[in-house]
Structure 1
């Protein structure tokens, strides 16, 4: 089966590798790209404070966040006293490639809900740096603040549509034997504008599925985990 991934090839990693190992053909159809903020002063200041040891924790919620920090001058180094947390294995893999951090903290549930449920309770006044996408939902930041973290939240990047979207080139080739794996809410917003019919659509997680439904393009299946195993289970549910 051909599975269309709405990411660039350098962002699919273990997800693509697992699908190929299972015998599927993977095609890349990136719908969005990440750009650094026009005004990077706040982000640069946060990176400087991180390297100076001002934060007890650095929390990273996507591989794109890691790439953005490095692009804005982060050396990849963190002081010994600073703990680093990641949302899931994809973020951990990119972090290990780009930094000196080898074993970050990671929740068993690779989601914002998992972070909030499993992150240790902080001592009063404990400083945590949370760099995120400009489009990040507020639930994580609000939850961390409610749990007592002294939070510094900064915009690391913004996700914007590719122009022209790659879907314009691939759409004529898509058939009912193909599956499209929509890999983010931002990608879902672009996908929904193209009104492609006749293919099965998988959402990489709940937020992406919610976006697709809100825009009138509901997913045929939702991955239980944002991994190759999750995708294979979703495909099995669809008898594909």
Structure 2
């Protein structure tokens, strides 16, 4: 049975882990990163206030961590009548539905990525095109720039930052405290025990580059930015998930 290691903590387990097990994979955890709110939350708080006042036509949510960070920072989870939610793909949509009452956000149908969004998102209405894009501090500018090129008036705000797990405080509001998992973490000299390592972010790739990785371990990337970071670090990328799902893992492994 193929053993897939995920670079997050067991407490962050969700639909992907369940899907992988149902698809016949053995799932393990190699926690490498954690998420925390930005130290200065002035812009984030102001953006949430504007969102709840109805200043935005669309709020674009690019990950489950984005949803969790907004809620932790004070978002009620509700949207004004004239504000729509958009998400990167089914994984974010599931987190949104689990944590709020928003059940039918817009999402791209072909590729769960910035490029997928830009290829499919409708052009903005002429009279109101304000879009809120809360994102990771490490997010690349491609999505924001592409949306602006399409005519959206984009307000970007840092919703959270991803850090190596050993840099996260124990009282972190997003629950980034390390857990005992029996797996080596950042800075460990032990070899990860698995067949596939699923890297969830560029920060995870940077942390993985500091580990002693066995030659047989296949590295998969979630998202093109993660794959680009892997390339820059000299980490071999066996594939990029076309979507964050068990099917996406199978497709990436088959390439």
Shared fold, TM over 0.5: yes
Q: Among 185, 191, 204, which residue is 1:172 paired with?
A: 191
Tell me how large the CA RMSD over aligned residues is.
1.9
Q: Does 1:137 align with 2:140?
A: yes
2:172 counterpart residue number: none
1:197 counterpart residue number: 214
Matches within 5 A, 1:140-151: 140-151=143-154
After superposition, the Cα gap between the structure-2 partners of 1:170 and 1:63, relative to the gap in structure 1 and judged at 3 Å, is farther
After superposition, the Cα gap between the structure-2 partners of 1:193 and 1:169, relative to the gap in structure 1 and judged at 3 Å, is closer
Q: Among 195, 210, 214, which residue is 2:232 paired with?
A: 214
Q: Does 1:99 align with 2:116?
A: no
After superposition, the Cα gap between the structure-2 partners of 1:170 and 1:195, relative to the gap in structure 1 and judged at 3 Å, is closer
Q: Check the 8 A contact 2:197/2:219 in 1, yes or no.
A: yes
- Runs of 4+ in structure 1 off by over 4 angstroms are 167-170
Normalized per residue, the structure richer in helix is 1
CA-to-aligned-CA distance 1:191-214 (integer Å, 9 cap, x gap) = 012241322222223222221111
2:156 counterpart residue number: 153
1:118 counterpart residue number: 120
| Secondary structure of the structure 2 residue equivalent to 1:172 | coil
Q: Check the 8 A contact 1:4/1:26 in 2, yes or no.
A: yes
Aligned residues: 235
1:2 counterpart residue number: 3
The TM-score, its normalising length taken from structure 2, stands at 0.86
2:198 counterpart residue number: 181
Distance (whole Å) between structure 1 residues aligned to residue 192 and residue 156 of structure 2: 42
Structure 2 gaps, min length 5? 168-183
1:226 counterpart residue number: 244
| Secondary structure of the structure 1 residue equivalent to 2:234 | coil
Structure 1 gaps, min length 5? none
| Secondary structure of the structure 1 residue equivalent to 2:4 | strand
Q: Check the 8 A contact 1:185/1:208 in 2, yes or no.
A: yes
| Secondary structure of the structure 2 residue equivalent to 1:129 | strand
Distance (whole Å) between structure 2 residues aligned to residue 158 and residue 229 of structure 1: 28
CA-to-aligned-CA distance 1:177-234 (integer Å, 9 cap, x gap) = x221112222111101224132222222322222111101111233232211111233
Deviation at 1:170, TM superposition (A): 8.5
Q: Check the 8 A contact 1:78/1:100 in 2, yes or no.
A: no
After superposition, the Cα gap between the structure-2 partners of 1:187 and 1:159, relative to the gap in structure 1 and judged at 3 Å, is same
| Secondary structure of the structure 1 residue equivalent to 2:138 | coil
Distance (whole Å) between structure 2 residues aligned to residue 95 and residue 205 of structure 1: 20
Deviation at 1:126, TM superposition (A): 1.4
| Secondary structure of the structure 1 residue equivalent to 2:104 | coil
